Structure 1
Amino acid sequence: MTTAADSLEFSLTERAAKRVAHLIEQEGQASLMLRVAVSGGGCSGFQYGFSFDDTVNPDDRTFERDGVVTVVDETSLELLNGAQVDFVEDLGGASFQIKNPNATSSCGCGSSFAI
C-alpha cells in the first residue's frame, strides 16, 4: 500500500553529498547520517536545521546519494517535498543551501522561509 509520505522527495546535490561525506569522515563515525529538519521560528516563519544523527526514528524517511544518507522526519518532509540541498562556496564563504519549491519567500540569510 502506498501512502502520501511515499511520494515525497528530497535530495542532495553531488557537491552537498561530497561535503557531508567529508564532514562525517572528520567526525570519525561512519554510521552518521545528515538530519534535515524544519522547525517554527526564524524571520520568515520556519527555519531549516542540519545535524548529524546515528538513529532513524519510526517517522523518518531516508534518502541516499553517493553513500551519504539523509534523514528527514515526515512532518518536515511535507514542507520540504521536492527540495534539494546544495553546498555553495563563493566569496561570501561556504554554506549549505536548500532550494525549496514550496517556499513562497525566504530571508536574506537563507536559513528561514515561509509557505
Structure 2
Amino acid sequence: MTAPQNSIALSPSAAARVAWIAQKQGKPAVLRLSVEGGGCSGFQYRYGLAEGINADDTVTETDGVQLVVDAVSLDLVAGCVVDYVENLGGTAFKVENPNAVAGCGCGSSFAV
C-alpha cells in the first residue's frame, strides 16, 4: 500500500486495530499521528486517539477510521502509510515513511 506524495494513508489492518481500541475506550475511531524531536534517530512518531480534528489537520479515512496529521508533522510524513503488524517480535503500529533516510532498530524514530 502506498500513499500519494502529499497525503497519508492508513492500512486496513491499522484501521481495524484503531477501531477495536477506540471501541474498548469508548472514543471516536480517529488516530492522530504526530512527529516530535527526539528518539535515537532525530524524530519520533507519536500516536494517540484524537478527540477531534483541527482545522489545519490532514485527514484520510479507511474503513470508517480516520487518520489525522497536523500541518507541521505532515512535512515529515507526507506520503506515509500507517500499518499495524503482528509478528513473533510483537504487535505494533508501523509507519512506512518515504521521507525517512535512516531509522532506529525499534522503528519508532527516524531521520530525514
TM-score (norm 1): 0.89
- Tell me the percent identity: 49
Corresponding residue for residue 108 of structure 2: 111
Q: Which has the larger radius of gyration?
A: 1
Is 1:67 equivalent to 2:32 in the alignment?
A: no
Q: List 4+ stretches of structure 1 deviating above 6 A.
A: none
Quick one: which of 92, 96, 100 aligns to 2:93? 96
Would you tell me which structure has more strand in proportion to its own residues?
A: 1
Structure 1 unaligned spans of 5+: 1-6
RMSD after superposition: 1.1
- Residues in 2 aligned to 1:39 and 1:97: alpha-carbon distance in whole angstroms: 16
Q: Secondary structure of the equivalent of 1:9?
A: coil
Q: Shift in Å at residue 41 of structure 1?
A: 0.5
Superposed CA offset, 1:66-95 (max 9, x none): 000111001111110110011110111100
Structure 2 unaligned spans of 5+: none
- Residues in 1 aligned to 2:29 and 2:50: alpha-carbon distance in whole angstroms: 5
- Residues in 2 aligned to 1:95 and 1:36: alpha-carbon distance in whole angstroms: 14
Is 1:55 equivalent to 2:52 in the alignment?
A: yes
Q: Is the 8 A contact 2:18 2:29 kept in 1?
A: no
Residue correspondences, number? 108
1:104 counterpart letter in structure 2: V
Q: Is the 8 A contact 1:88 1:97 kept in 2?
A: yes
Corresponding residue for residue 7 of structure 2: 9
Superposed CA offset, 1:21-74 (max 9, x none): 111111112x34110000110000000000111121222111111000111001
TM-score (norm 2): 0.92
